[in-house]
Amino acid sequence: MKTLKVFFALLIFILSFNIAISQQDRNPIVEVTGTASISVTPDIMKWTIDIQNDNDNIQEAKTKNDNTIIKVLSILRTYKIEEKDIRTGGIRMTKRQYKYGEEKKFNVSNTIWFTFDDISKYDLLTNDLIKIEDAFITSTVLEYSKAIETREQARTNALNVAKEKATKMAETLGITIGRPLLITEEPIYDWGYPQLTQNNVQNYAVDMPSSSQHFNEGIMKIESKVKVVFELK
């Protein structure tokens, strides 16, 4: 038993000694964050069109739904929207149930998604689409076609900001920074607008105006935030 106690005491001493040596050998560090943003004008708009048809006869409801889809696609072609930028969903059929368990009317629906790169024609396209019965514009989202490249530039800018911040902090204390020991990309939280990407592409356009108003695409802000740990010399 005495031998065992001596062994554990020796083990604790060795571990404590190694930790002390490790702490002495560890270079001091500085941890900083860098944030950068780039403002751009959105140049594409993604639309969602829902098509809803109700009828007591399901075949008639489907026929009307098919005709509505044809009308919408015809208008999109007049605006020279390419087929690759148009996607249609599968048809959905449901039986509507009213009070007292009486089944009445069938609902046939479909969805069309498309991307339009001529935002200046927003009002014209909206006016044409709203003339189609049973077709509803349910979503329009502004985006930037070069968002990936811009996020990469914002990330580079954020790293430069972090390096400059660390350099100035070290100079104030009469020392210099060394090599980076850790680099991580931080999430950006924006409570006023939904987070669209990891680097938070924020759409700062105001609410969509009605067709009688002039549409303004506004400005998008593409941001990046990084955390860097530098060695100090």
pLDDT digits (tens, 9 = 90+) for 10-59: 445 455 545 443 444 567 999 999 999 999 999 999 999 999 998 889 99
CA 165, chain centre distance (Å):
28
Helices 58-78 and 122-129, packing angle to 10 deg: 160
Backbone angles phi, psi at 62, to 5 degrees: -65, -45
**What pLDDT sits at residue 219?**
87
Residue 107 CA to residue 94 CA, distance in Å, equals 5
CATH class of 44-143: alpha beta
Name the CATH code of domain 25-41+146-232 (choices 3.60.21.10, 3.20.20.60, 3.20.20.70, 3.30.110.170): 3.30.110.170
CB atoms within 10 A of CB 39: 12
**What pLDDT sits at residue 207?**
41
Fill in the DSSP letter of residue 198. T
In the chain, where are the structural domains located? 25-41+146-232, 44-143
Contacts of 69 (CB under 8 A, 6+ apart): 51, 88, 110, 112
**What pLDDT sits at residue 43?**
93
Is the CB of residue 47 less than 8 Å from the CB of residue 108? no
pLDDT (tens digit per residue) in 78-122? 999 999 999 999 899 988 766 555 556 889 999 999 999 999 999
